[in-house]
Chain A
């Protein structure tokens, strides 16, 4: 890959640039000779804004390096000229003010007043200077700016941060250890950069992506072939039957709280998924599931899910939509209702699945006090400790989202779950390696390891 791009680049460079034109500049005696055959060409397979400059090496034992220049674009020239004009005018105006003020002081004007009275002269001088100002270079002449410095062994230099589609000329100047400089050797034809369809720098990222997707696909195909995929048992989900069973035996209801967020929250969606499972088991056991919701849309979604569950359990006649109802959007109004109901009706099993805030502990503690089996699931890190302490089982973050795949047992879902886990494992491993390498690099100051770290940071994981 690298070899072929290299040669391609070389060919393009040769065709685009002819001979380098030696632009004479003030040179000292024994100055190094100017580099010859300066060529410039767009760097392929990148995101643009980068041009590679090449030249023939200069034979000089005292060579210290090359300065690489690029031409300013017309826009840049205009901006530079404007700055320069303003600076020239300001300087002239300041000088005029100082001179005039000195005169006035000499005439006996108080120094405070002199400055103010000199204002007029300063303005006039500034305006005059502005009119007088002329650009340093003539129209059509290349204005150079230093793009970078290359080592004496280098014969190429990548100039970046360029505007795509803008024509640039490049010049290379050799300088030696005594500070003597050669004339700037310029390219014969301007070059411009452009973004390629593929950016080779992103290749590692692409490979990573392919690997991650590949593992997902691989595991899906493995699962489809009927090979059992081992997924860690999630105690909280395994305990659903137990909780519903308990409610059945005790002749009490099952309470299901779907969080207090709306359907646009992913956690609510995950919660509704699990509700489907809970309702199906409840239908099989002929237990009552009560679902108070704090959003109307959640109520509708929950009703549809529960109805589906009753249907698939073959007990559609036992489905009662009145048990799934809307209470209030108000956070604590909802909590007050649910807590009250829990104390009055004493459900034997409580599920909290969704996004929870301050109400988590109130609900879980109430549930605990009435002796219910409680299963919680949330991705709210701040609420997890409360649930873990007060509930019998808790689905933590990732487990909560994986639940639907886990419960469905379908090869596609299980395979993708397993594949994603592999991806996470990979990223985790890279992070660990990176941290270890960065530490080693910091301790040993090893260049190679630092390079490795920056590769990981910038190429593999970064931009």
Chain B
């Protein structure tokens, strides 16, 4: 186990290749001075999303780095422009207008500052991209729960969407697997399998399945499909022989599972980024130009978000979960005990995929969050109407309540999938004592533990555009069910991707901006784990500091106290028997908490969160909570 941990810790380093590459590019560019972190004071970053290109400017101010200006423009990957740089220049021009700083040269490139006093240009320019559907990959491994899962983790961690996972034991017959490979059009394929010195036959067999299937890449017909091999080193010659055709571009990296006890995702992840730049980006319209502009490699947006979350978790020594709920997909990132995991729930989203959320969760589960009378048939039609007209926004309170109910279920399902994926390594030898006789646990337990979760960061339309901050906070609490003490925050303007790339270049700047401008702290949630009868005492609290309160919470109660941004308070909790707030069942705990726009939320509704079965009782409960949180206008 211990070995496994070290293996993973290594893999979660923030792109060891970046600083080096940055340096190379810096010295190669004779236009401006080599990179000296102390001299960087104007940073320009863009994120080319599938619909909008967002640019931000970060400047050194007397109090440290701050995000100062931002601009937005539609992304221009598709016709009629078919050149991503047009959107980039448009968004950057908006910043230029606002800041009065000239950023775009006459030839349309980004201006670099010539001296520290230069009023125009920036010191570094970085970018992320998820345009054109992001990075789509297919992964393969021998055993689904082992090397294939490690490969999937590597791909997801690099910011890819995993279209399918092919494994020797995925219960598909070989011809079905080939059929599936043929249907997909991945940007690249990651093949792994076998420990070093382990299985060769099945690894080669996988390669032999993929090669004749000739998966066609998404961009361009002439394009050679990049294949990354990160499996058993003994199988390399055979795999190289199999992919020795005109249609493939094979690159070999270290095994991502050198032993069963060890996972080494770093090399595979880095190679994915390289290939993403060399092949995928190079074929997307305008990216060849954009790549020459940036001072650090362009990263896939989710990969960058993962990086900033890891940096924060590592620097502050905390466990963090980030979620980005979009129209079509929901991304969940987590860092527990320095182990990073990311999942993409492909069909859980709030517009294109809203109907799928309803289908997967079931209308009953969604309606359990609704305290108003709604007609189910009408709702079903509304859901479908939102799906076919995804850009509409809820106009009435009723529509908002329903949309947030759907969001709760989408987030809950996405988090559930994440928990199932973010596990310790499987297939690892266990050490036992006789004392374990009745408590044998299998390997592959989820790393996600809500009790040890310190920070929950939300981003994405339904969360960041909720009319009231309290709605975002309660959405997070209801969907993620944090236990013990958890800080809740939201990404103000979806700046995390920019900061993720920046973290690879200038970690200090990235962290300062993250703390000061990126996150809007909503407050802290204190929740008791355990179950009890509604109305029975759950825990006693006493709060001192900027807020002075004390009292008792009964099971089923939810209470909010104002504790503004920047304010802190010491919260002492004495849970009743069977309830746990972090120190163990029935044990007292005391902690310093941060305030925020929502404040301090005490949650005695129990974990797992159970809503009364009976409709009128449940609605009464919901109404009480809504009142306590001041959630909706009366």
Contact = CB atoms under 8 A, between A and B. Distances in A.
Interface of A: 235-236, 238-239, 241-243, 245-246, 248-252, 284-286, 314, 371-373, 384-385, 388-394, 396
B143 A285 contact: yes
Given A249-B194, A251-B194, A371-B429, A388 B434 contact: yes
16 contacts: A238-B442, A242-B427, A242-B442, A245-B145, A246-B428, A249-B146, A249-B198, A250-B198, A251-B197, A251-B201, A285-B143, A285-B169, A385-B434, A388-B434, A394-B432, A394-B437
A252 B432 CA distance: 23
Given A242-B444, A245-B427, A389-B432, A251 B199 contact: yes
A242 B142 contact: no
A388 B436 contact: yes
Nearest to B141: A249
Contacts of B169: 245, 248, 284-285
Given A249-B193, A249-B257, A392 B198 contact: no
B195 A249 contact: yes
Given A239-B442, A242-B145, A245-B426, 13 more contacts: A236-B440, A238-B442, A242-B444, A248-B143, A249-B142, A249-B199, A250-B260, A251-B197, A252-B198, A285-B143, A286-B202, A373-B427, A394-B440
B420 to A, nearest CB: 14
Given A373-B427, A373-B429, A246 B434 contact: no
User: Can you list the 5 inter-chain pairs with the closest CB atoms, starting with the nearest?
Assistant: A251-B199, A246-B427, A245-B143, A235-B440, A250-B198
Contacts of B430: 373, 392-393
A242 B443 contact: yes
Contacts of A396: 437
Interface residues of B, number: 36
Interface of B: 142-143, 145-147, 168-169, 171, 173, 193-195, 197-202, 232, 257, 260, 426-430, 432-434, 436-437, 440-444
B615 to A, nearest CB: 24
A371 to B, nearest CB: 6
B200 A251 contact: yes
A238 B430 CA distance: 14
Nearest to A239: B442
Nearest to A245: B143
Nearest to A384: B437
A178 B443 CA distance: 84
A392 B426 CA distance: 13
In the complex, which of the residues B147, B194, B437 has the most CB atoms of chain A within 10 Å of its own CB atom? B437
A40 to B, nearest CB: 59
Contacts of A388: 432-434, 436-437
B88 to A, nearest CB: 44
In the complex, which of the residues A238, A252, A371, A388 has the most CB atoms of chain B within 10 Å of its own CB atom? A388
B434 A249 contact: no
A284 B440 CA distance: 26
A239 B429 CA distance: 11
In the complex, which of the residues B146, B173, B200 has the most CB atoms of chain A within 10 Å of its own CB atom? B146
Contact of A284 (B171, B198, B436, B441): B171
A298 to B, nearest CB: 27
B170 to A, nearest CB: 10
Contacts of B195: 249-251
Contacts of A251: 194-195, 197-201, 232
A393 B441 CA distance: 8
B199 A391 contact: no
Contacts of A243: 427
A249 B147 contact: yes
A396 B436 CA distance: 12
Contacts of B437: 384, 388, 394, 396
Contact of B142 (A241, A248, A385, A389): A248
Contacts of A249: 142-143, 146-147, 193-195, 198-199, 257, 260, 427
A249 B432 CA distance: 23
Contact of B168 (A239, A242, A285): A285
A374 to B, nearest CB: 8
Contacts of A248: 142-143, 168-169, 199, 202
A287 to B, nearest CB: 9
B535 to A, nearest CB: 28
Contacts of B436: 388
Nearest to B200: A251
Contacts of B143: 245, 248-249, 285
B440 A393 contact: yes
Contacts of B433: 388-389
A6 B430 CA distance: 67
A249 to B, nearest CB: 5
Contact of A250 (B145, B171, B199, B441): B199
Nearest to B171: A284
Nearest to B441: A235
A404 B168 CA distance: 26
B200 A235 contact: no
Contacts of B199: 248-251
Nearest to A236: B440
Contacts of B198: 249-252
B168 A241 contact: no
Contacts of B194: 249-251
Nearest to A284: B169
Contacts of B444: 242
Contacts of A373: 427-430
A234 to B, nearest CB: 9
B388 to A, nearest CB: 36
Contact of A286 (B147, B168, B173): B168
Given A286-B168, A385-B434, A393-B430, A241 B145 contact: yes
Contacts of A242: 145, 426-427, 442-444
B281 to A, nearest CB: 33
Contacts of A250: 194-195, 197-199, 260
Contact of A245 (B146, B173, B434): B146
A188 B252 CA distance: 109
A389 B429 contact: no
Nearest to B147: A249
A246 B260 contact: yes
A1 B148 CA distance: 69
Contacts of A394: 432, 437, 440
In the complex, which of the residues B145, B199, B232, B440 has the most CB atoms of chain A within 10 Å of its own CB atom? B440
Contacts of B434: 385, 388-389
Contacts of B171: 284
Nearest to B431: A392
B426 A372 contact: no
In the complex, which of the residues B145, B198, B427, B428 has the most CB atoms of chain A within 10 Å of its own CB atom? B427
Contacts of B441: 235
A373 B442 CA distance: 11
A373 B443 CA distance: 11
Nearest to A368: B429
A426 to B, nearest CB: 22
In the complex, which of the residues B199, B232, B436, B443 has the most CB atoms of chain A within 10 Å of its own CB atom? B199
A245 B194 CA distance: 10
A252 B173 CA distance: 23
Contacts of A392: 429-430, 432
Nearest to B234: A251
Nearest to B430: A392
B199 to A, nearest CB: 4
Contacts of A384: 437
